[in-house]
Amino acid sequence: MDADFDDLKSRLAEHDDLKHAAALLRWDQATYMPEGGNAARGRQLATLERIAHARLTDPELARLLDKVTPAAEREGDASFAARLVRVARKDVERATRVPAAFVGDFVNLRAELYDRWTRARPANDFAAVAPLLARNVEMSREYAGFFAPFDHVADPLIDLMDPDVKTASIRALFAELRGALVPLVEAITRAAPADESCLHRQYPEADQLAVGSEIASRFGYDWTRGRQDKTHHPFMTKFSLGDVRITTRVRTDDLSEALFSTLHEAGHALYEQSIDRSFEATPLAEGTSSGVHESQSRLWENQVGRSLPFWRGQYPKLQAAFPAQLGDVSLDTFYRAINRVKRSLIRTAADEVTYGLHVIMRFDFELELLEGSLAVADLPEAWRARATSDLGVTPPDDRDGCLQDVHWFDGPVGGAFQSYALGNLMSAQFFDAALRAHPSLPAEIEAGHFDTLRTWLVTNIHVHGRARTPDELVLGATGSPLSTEPYLRYLRTKYGALYGL
C-alpha cells in the first residue's frame, strides 16, 4: 500500500503542478502580459491543459486508485486516504468519461464563440452569436450525456461547479427564494430610494487600494502568502496553499467597486489560505465547490462588510482616509448608500436583494435550453419578459439583456450560475451558526476583531478543503441541510430596518 499510495500522490502532485502552472499563465495574462504575448499564451495554456488531462486519464493512475482503495477505505471514511481516493477518483472518472476529441471540439467551439461574443455584445448583435450558442447548448447536452444516467440533463453540468448538488433540489430552493424576493423587491422599491451620491465623489486609486488592503489584513488575509494586483475583472487565484492571490478593479468615481471586490476576493482567498497544509499538492487542497466558495466571499463582503456593526467600527477610519469626500457624510447615509436596493439590468452590479432574481432567471433559462423547451432564437424575448416580470425593468437591448454575461459564451450552458445564489444562502446559514456559537460576534466585528469569526470558518469549513462535500460541510457546520430560511430572514431583517417595511 505505502509505495502505491506514494506513487499515487506523486502522480496527483504532477497534475497539480501542471494545473497551477496554467493558473499562473492565466494570472499573468490578466495582469501584466503585454498584448504581443496573447497568441503564444493561448497555445501554452492548451499544451499545459492537454498534458494535465493526459496525466489524469493515464490508465496507470486509475489502476493505482483501484489498487489502493481497499486499504484507504479500511482507514475509515473520514481518513485522509479515503477522502483523497474518493476525490481523485471523481476527477479521474470525469476526465475519462469524456472522449479527448470531444474535449478538443468543445474547447474550440467555446473559443470561437467567446471571440464572437466580445464583438457581438458591444454591437448588440445577438444574431451573430446565436448559431454558435445553439451549438454550445447541443454540445453541453452531449457532454452531460457522457455521464448518463442522471435525474436531469443539467445535473452533470451543475456537478462541475457544485458537486453532488442536484437540479431538483436547486429548483426547490430557488422557487422558495424567488417567491420571497419578488414581493420583497416590490416593497423596497416602493420606499424612498437611498442616496448613494457619497460613493461617487473622487477617490484616488492609491488610497482606495490602501483601505482595501488594510481591511483584508484585518480579516486575516496573509500577505506573505498572497498579493493583490489590478485586473479588468476581479478574481482570486491560487498557485499553492502558500500563494493565493487576489485582484481588484478601481474606479476613482465609485468607492464601492474596489472596496467590496477586495472584501469579496479576500473572502475567497481566506478559504484557500486556510486549507489543511498537509493537503498541499493533492486534489483535496481546494475549496469544495463554487457555491461554498461563494459563501465565503459573500460572507466577508456582505454579512460582515455591508453590516452596521462593521461600519460602526470602521467608518471613522474610512472618513479619516477620505476626509474631503466623507467628512460631511454620516454613518447612516454611508450605510444606506452601500446597501441601496434598486431594480437594475446588470447582474454583476446588482444589490444583495435583487441579485438572487438575476441568478434564478439564468438558471431557469439554462434548464429550458437544455431541455429544449426554449430555443436559442427565442432567448432575447424570453429574457425581456422575465426581467420585466421579476426585476421590474425591461432591457432596452440584448447588450444589457441576454448578452451581458460571459458564462454561456466561454463555458458550458448549464451549471454556470446557481453557485452565486447557493453561496448567498449558505453565507447566511454559516453566519447564523457562527453567531449561535459566538453571540459576541457583532460586538467583536464592531471592535474590528475578526479572529473568532475567522477561526469558526477555518475550523468548520476552510480546513477541510475538498475532503468534505458541500452537503457535509453545511450539515456539519450548521446542523441543518441548506435552506432559504436564514438568508431570507437576514434580508427581511436588514432591509426591513433600512427601508422601514
Q: What's the closest the beta carbon of residue 463 comes to a copy of itself, in angstroms?
A: 17
3-class secondary-structure state, position 228: strand
Considering the complex, state which of residue 14 and residue 105 has its C-beta at the smaller distance from a copy of itself: 14
- Binding a copy of itself (rule: CB under 8 A), the pick from 243, 254, 405, 444 is 243
Site string for a copy of itself, 46-85 (x = CB under 8 A): -xx--x----------------------------------
**Cell output for 311:** 461600519
CB of 182: closest distance to a copy of itself in angstroms?
45
What Cα–Cα distance (Å) separates residue 180 from each residue in 185, 401, 496? 9, 23, 13
Is residue 501 helix, strand or coil? Answer: coil
Lay out the sheet containing 243-248: strands in order across: 228-230, 243-248, 236-240
Residues numbered 14-43 forming contacts with a copy of itself, rule: CB under 8 A: 14, 17-18, 20-22, 24-25, 28, 32-41, 43
Q: Which is nearer to a copy of itself, 33 or 331 (CB)?
A: 33
Contacting range for a copy of itself; rule: CB under 8 A; set: 9-17, 317-325, 410-418, 485-493: 9-17
Q: Mask: binding to a copy of itself, 149-168, rule CB under 8 A, as x and -?
A: --------------------
Task: Report the phi/psi class of residue 415: left, alpha or beta, with left for phi > 0 and alpha for psi in -120 to 50.
Answer: left
Minimum CB distance to a copy of itself smaller for 40 or for 127? 40
Compute CA distances 362 → 174, 355, 383, 409, whole Å: 11, 11, 9, 13
| Alpha-carbon torsion, ordered 318, 324, 328, 329, to 10 deg | -40
How far apart are CB 111 and a copy of itself at their closest, in Å?
Answer: 17
In the complex with a copy of itself, which residue's Cβ is closer, 245 or 264? Answer: 245
Rounded to a whole number of angstroms, the minimum distance from the CB of residue 224 to a copy of itself is 5
Q: Is 13 in the site for a copy of itself (CB under 8 A)?
A: yes
52 is written with which cell numbers? 494535465
Q: Which of 478, 23, 5 is nearest to 244 (CA)?
A: 23
C-beta of 23: minimal distance to a copy of itself in Å?
Answer: 10
240-248, 447-455, 469-477, 488-496 -> range binding a copy of itself (CB under 8 A): 240-248
Count of residues making up the chain = 501
Give the nearer residue to a copy of itself in terms of CB position, either 247 or 354: 247
Considering only residues 431 through 490, tell me which ones interact with a copy of itself, judged by CB under 8 A. Answer: none
Size of the site for a copy of itself (CB under 8 A): 40
Candidate list 125, 222, 276, 446; residue touching a copy of itself; CB under 8 A: 222
Of 93 and 280, nearer to a copy of itself (C-beta) is: 280
d(CA 178, CA 346): 18
**CA separation for the pair 387, 376 (Å, rounded):** 17
Q: Which of residues 30, 281, 349, 393 is near a copy of itself by CB under 8 A?
A: 281
DSSP code of 301? I
> Stretches 101-109, 222-230, 397-405, 461-469: which one binds a copy of itself (CB under 8 A)?
222-230
97: region left, alpha or beta (phi > 0 left; psi from -120 to 50 alpha): alpha
Distance in Å, CB of 315 to a copy of itself, minimum: 30
Which of residues 163, 226, 291, 414 is near a copy of itself by CB under 8 A? 226
Comparing CA positions, the residue from 186, 174, 235 lying closest to residue 362 is 174
Candidate list 196, 257, 265, 272, residue with the active-site label: 265
Contact stretch for a copy of itself (CB under 8 A) within 11-19, 64-72, 119-127, 143-151: 11-19
Sign of the torsion formed by the C-alpha atoms of 136, 141, 146 and 151: positive
Closer of 15 and 347 to a copy of itself (Cβ): 15
What whole-number distance in Å separates Cα of residue 107 and Cα of residue 102? 8
Q: C-beta of 25: minimal distance to a copy of itself in Å?
A: 6
Helix, coil or strand: residue 468: coil
Q: Which is nearer to a copy of itself, 234 or 356 (CB)?
A: 234
Closest by alpha carbon to 346, among 334, 333, 364, 362?
362
- Three cell numbers at 139? 454540445
Rounded to the nearest whole angstrom, what is the least distance from the CB of residue 305 to a copy of itself in the complex?
23
Residue 489 makes CB contacts below 8 A (sequence gap 6+) with 428
Q: Any contact of residue 223 with a copy of itself (CB under 8 A)?
A: yes
Task: Collect all residues with Cβ–Cβ distance below 8 Å to 283 and sequence separation of at least 6.
Answer: 12, 15, 16, 84, 87, 88, 91, 466
The reply to whether 265 belongs to the active site is yes
User: DSSP H helical segments within 32-162, as ranges?
Assistant: 38-56, 59-74, 80-97, 100-123, 130-145, 155-161
**What's the closest the beta carbon of residue 242 comes to a copy of itself, in angstroms?**
3
| Cα separation, 423 vs 359, whole angstroms | 11
Determine which residue in the list 44, 124, 252, 319 makes contact with a copy of itself, applying CB under 8 A: 44
Q: Which of 106, 112, 113 is nearest to 143 (CA)?
A: 106
Active site residues: 265
Q: Contact residues for a copy of itself (CB under 8 A)?
A: 13-14, 17-18, 20-22, 24-25, 28, 32-41, 43-44, 47-48, 51, 222-227, 229, 239-243, 245, 280-281
